[in-house]
Amino acid sequence: MEKVSFVRNAPQVFFNSAGYFKSRYKTFGKAVYGSNRWVLLCLGLLNVVLLIVAVSLGIKCAKVKESSIHVTHSSATQPTSEYLHDNHSNVIEAGENLKKTLETAIKNHTLLKEQIEQKKSINDENQRQVETLRTEKTNLQANISALEGTCGKCLPGWNILNSSCYFFSYLESSAVKKNWADSRADCVRRGADLVVIDTPEEQKFVSDSIQNMKTTTNRWGNGFWIGITDVHSEGTWTWINNVTMLDRRYWMDGEPNNRGQKEDCGVILYSSISPWKTMFDGPCHYPYHWVCKMDSR
């Protein structure tokens, strides 16, 4: 059997019953086989061309896709960038506004602080003025009380009995004591003189007035100088108005005794026993409180 290389599985009957055709077929087969090589070659070339075209198209498509993506990406990011840019500007503007607001708040705070300090200073000054006025009020009230007590007839701090005013140095200063001469000088400086006791009422008034004016537990140390002395004539007690005391009724028992030959000035001392026995003689240089007297207004 003749081998047909081109159509391997073609029906054998067909070729055996028609030799011509078999021959033709063989011829045809050879022709076909020969032309087929060109066809195959053409097909191969075509495939190569198609492959090149396909590759080219693929590359182009890839570029187009990439470009499309890039374009898409650019298209997508463009508004975002502008949005971010706008937001950035807004944030900066908001920051500037906040900065201005903060600066304004700081200025207001500083101004408010200054105002508070100023008001505090004013308040302190007012407080000092209030304290000053309060002190003046207290002094005025004390003066009013003193004036009311003496009905304006005596100076502030002085006491009144009938038509006379009396100054007890203890009330001005319990610490200050003077000798007899200096005590008298103080009374004169005040427009008065050491007290001259003219009546029993006055004796009792002065004696009672000094009852609580004590600075020492030594009773002899709590005396007050009065305006009587025997310095000019020992034993002759004369008031500073040149009136000589003739009786001894206001002297304490045993006084005046001119102890040590040096007691020439009269002192009055409170006695719980009797308001009539309150005077004694003492050394004129001793420090005592003193009692001034002057006529009332």
With CB under 5 A as the contact rule, the residue among 230, 250, 286, 288 that binds Ca ion is 230
Instruction: With contacts defined by CB under 5 A, name the span among 8-16, 138-146, 149-157, 274-282 that binds Ca ion.
Output: 274-282
267 lies in the binding site for Ca ion (CB under 5 A)? no
With CB under 5 A as the contact rule, the residue among 281, 286, 288, 292 that binds Ca ion is 281
What does the longest C-alpha to C-alpha distance in the chain come to? Answer: 209
Nearest-angstrom CA–CA distance, 180 and 296: 24
**Cβ atoms 292, 194 nearer than 8 A:** yes
263 lies in the binding site for Ca ion (CB under 5 A)? yes
Instruction: With contacts defined by CB under 5 A, name the span among 41-49, 149-157, 163-171, 280-288 that binds Ca ion.
Output: 280-288
Q: Label each residue of 7-19 as H, E or C.
A: CCCCCHHHHHCCH
Q: Smallest distance from the beta carbon of 237 to Ca ion, in angstroms?
A: 8
For residue 187, count other CB atoms closer than 10 A to its CB.
Answer: 23
With CB under 5 A as the contact rule, the residue among 159, 264, 266, 277 that binds Ca ion is 264
258 lies in the binding site for Ca ion (CB under 5 A)? yes
Q: Please provide residue 178's backbone torsions phi and psi, each rounded to the nearest 5 degrees.
A: -135, 165
**Cβ atoms 94, 87 nearer than 8 A:** no
Site for Ca ion in 56-95 (CB under 5 A): none
User: Count of residues binding Ca ion (CB under 5 A)?
Assistant: 8
Nearer to Ca ion, 141 or 257 (CB): 257
257 lies in the binding site for Ca ion (CB under 5 A)? yes
Instruction: With contacts defined by CB under 5 A, name the span among 15-23, 44-52, 191-199, 222-230 that binds Ca ion.
Output: 222-230
Burial 201-233 (b: 16+ CB within 10 A, else e): ebbbbbbebbeebeeeeeeeebbbbbbbbbeee
3-state SS, residue 20: helix
Nearer to Ca ion, 68 or 257 (CB): 257
3-state SS, residue 227: strand
Q: What is the pattern of x (binds Ca ion, CB under 5 A) and - over residues 180-219?
A: ----------------------------------------
Q: Smallest distance from the beta carbon of 181 to Ca ion, in angstroms?
A: 15
Site for Ca ion in 111-140 (CB under 5 A): none
Q: Smallest distance from the beta carbon of 195 to Ca ion, in angstroms?
A: 19
**Cβ atoms 139, 146 nearer than 8 A:** no
Instruction: With contacts defined by CB under 5 A, name the span among 57-65, 85-93, 140-148, 258-266 that binds Ca ion.
Output: 258-266
**Cβ atoms 210, 281 nearer than 8 A:** no
Which residues, at least 6 apart from 172, have a Cβ–Cβ distance to it below 8 Å?
157
What's the gap between Cα 204 and its chain centre? 60
The residue ranges that bind Ca ion (CB under 5 A) are: 230, 257-259, 263-264, 280-281
